[in-house]
Amino acid sequence: MASDPSEQGAAPPQKQVTHMNPEIERDRKMILDAKAQGRGALAKVFMKLSGPGWLQSGITLGGGSLSSSLYLGVLVGFSFMWLQPLAMILGIIMLSAIAYVTLSTGERPLRGINEHVSPVLGWGWLLASMMANLVWSLPQFALGTAAIRQNLLPGFIGPISGMPELQGKMIAGALFLMLALGASLT
């Protein structure tokens, strides 16, 4: 009789893969436990672990995309309706490529792209990201201030309070900053 399990028809024991990072091991254990519980639990764990991906999806298709699509529709009608889905697909491809380089090399995105792909692409991506963030972020401050002054506290710091506009905006900005910092500290 053979004493080797592979000769008896049993599957050979699988080698356990372990990582130095305890977070990866914790995530791996969560996935394996959820897989044993069924598809619903597995989907829930995947949604939980995808974290920043949900935020990036919201940024990829956000208020800027909506307003630019509406404005383009006003200018040219339906003839450029294909442009917005194409822009979203290209954004997802670029995000996926950057994530692949970052995860494959273990380096920060800019350094990884500059060393392993192309410095022109790395610096171009950085400049384009900074310009997009600047264009996207600045209107958000005005939107947040207007939401506080007109919707949340119109009688306190809004136009009907009798407070000068500059002081109302400064108070709204301070409230917005306190809310943002308070949320980041918890």
Task: Kindly give the confidence (pLDDT) of every residue in the chain, 186 residues in length, as a single tens digit, with 9 standing for 90 and above.
Answer: 445 544 555 555 555 656 567 777 888 899 999 999 999 999 888 888 876 666 566 566 666 666 777 777 778 888 887 887 787 788 778 888 888 888 888 888 889 889 988 999 889 888 888 887 777 777 777 777 777 777 777 777 776 777 887 887 788 778 878 877 876 665
8: tokens are 């008896």
Amino acid at 96: S
What 3 state SS string does 25-69 have?
HHHHHHHHHHHHHCHHHHHHHHHHHCCHHHHHHHHHCCHHHHHHH
Q: The pTM is what?
A: 0.43
Domain ranges in the chain are 22-52, 61-117, 119-186
